[in-house]
Amino acid sequence: MGDAMAGMDFKIPTVMTSEELMEKAFHRASKIRKNGTNALDAKKKTALAKVTASGDIVVTALNGYVERFPRLDKEDDFLPELVDIVIGIDRYKKALGAVNWCATKAEKLKNDTLKDIRRTKDPEIVEATRRSFYGRLNSYVDRISDDLMFLQDAKNKFRRLPAVDPAVPTIVVAGFPNVGKSNLVTVLSSAAPEIAPYPFTTKGVIVGHIDDDWRKYQIIDTPGLLDRQFEDRNDIEKQAVLALRYLTDVMLFVIDPSETCGFPLEMQERLLKTVQDGFPGVPIIVAESKCDIMKTGNGRIFFSAQSGENMDVLTDRIMTELRAIHRRKSIESEAVEDA
Ligand SMILES: Nc1nc2c(ncn2[C@@H]2O[C@H](COP(=O)(O)OP(=O)(O)OP(=O)(O)O)[C@@H](O)[C@H]2O)c(=O)[nH]1
Ligand SMILES: [Mg+2]
């Protein structure tokens, strides 16, 4: 398992376009000259070496992509639901399948060509066979040029996907801008929160860790994602919010009753309702911030990240939820292991 929330691009190679790949293969081959016992022998040895080198470059590159792009099975760190929204799993699998097809074809073509060259005693045929190999290799690779471009694009998108360890219980913080979310995340985190990539937003998500003895939980602040009515969003933002569901085990919704955030209480309550509807089945802790300025006395948990007042009560409540999630997840993973 990778670090939770770390971008996973380090594993994934850069994908050449079909033109770049063929240029690399032919360029390497073009520099090859072999000596022989006579003119025909030298010609054959040179042709064999050129075919081997160019074929191997193509096959090695393509096999490398197939091996090193994530398979998206259970052992991968990515959440399949997120990958499907961001990249499209069917198209992705088709692209990897096409690359694999091309590698197999190129390998066979290379071996057949080597046999043909070895067999002939006609220098004209040596030349013609080599040239025909170049043409057919080029046309195989050309046929997967869309797939190669798709994979390079997918690589860039993978980089923006949070790699999540689904075993780590995760609390996501929501609420209007300026209600005090970031301040709270910083205070609750055992180390300075880090910015992790997230698809659809340039800001990324801010991830902190909460220590609980030897256990760690994730706390995620999402600037600009859960701070507006869902209906007011464009399609991309809607996808981003939907995708966030797969990260969220518990939600912490922060309300600023002092309204110093600039949003009336009534608007904040309406957003809470939307978030509740949008995250069905997710436990939501509602907490009122900035209690150093004002307390409503309505029975909700209140806190001030600034003065520290009541932070122990809020922390207890958060820990209770996260521990419950932890227990549920360990039971689930034991069940998977027993199956
Ligand atoms: N009085 C008081 N002010 C606070 C408290 N927490 C945050 N603030 C102030 O509220 C403002 C917003 O705080 P942030 O933590 O940045 O709020 P946010 O919800 O992360 O805002 P966005 O990132 O814009 O969504 C800042 O000026 C903070 O100083 C608090 O407990 N008490
Ligand atoms: Mg913030």
| Ligand 1 centroid – CA 321 distance (Å) | 24
Residues 6+ apart with CB under 8 A from 89: 72, 80, 83
| Closest ligand relative to 226 C-alpha | 1
| Ligand 1 centroid – CA 177 distance (Å) | 8
For the record, the structure tokens of 147 come out as: 């797939």
48: Cα separation from own chain's centroid: 42
What atom in ligand 1 is closest to the CA of residue 183? 15
Cα 32 to Cα 50: distance, rounded to the nearest angstrom: 6
| Closest ligand relative to 184 C-alpha | 1
Domains of the chain: 9-160 (1.20.120.1190), 170-338 (3.40.50.300)
Residues at CB less than 6 angstroms from ligand 1: 177-183, 223, 227, 289-290, 292-293, 304-306
Residue located via tokens 């096409």? 98
| Ligand 1 centroid – CA 138 distance (Å) | 59
- The confidence score (pLDDT) of residue 197 equals 67
324: Cα separation from own chain's centroid: 27
What atom in ligand 1 is closest to the CA of residue 186? 15
Reduced to 3 states (helix: H, G, I; strand: E, B; else coil), residue 219 is: strand
Residues 6+ apart with CB under 8 A from 304: 289, 290, 291, 292, 293, 310, 311
| Ligand 1 centroid – CA 267 distance (Å) | 17
Nearest to 151 by CA among 213, 212, 88: 88
| Closest ligand relative to 178 C-alpha | 1
- The confidence score (pLDDT) of residue 75 equals 60
The per-residue pLDDT string of the chain (339 residues; one tens digit each, 9 = 90 and over) reads 334 444 444 578 999 999 999 999 999 999 999 999 999 999 999 999 999 999 999 999 999 999 999 888 766 666 777 788 888 899 999 999 999 999 999 999 999 999 999 999 999 999 999 999 999 999 999 999 999 999 999 998 887 776 666 778 999 999 999 999 999 999 999 888 887 766 666 566 788 899 998 899 999 887 777 777 777 877 777 777 777 787 899 999 999 999 999 999 999 999 999 889 889 899 999 999 999 999 999 999 999 999 999 999 999 999 999 999 999 988 877 776 776
| Ligand 1 centroid – CA 165 distance (Å) | 29
Which residue's CA is the nearest one to ligand 1's atom 30? 290
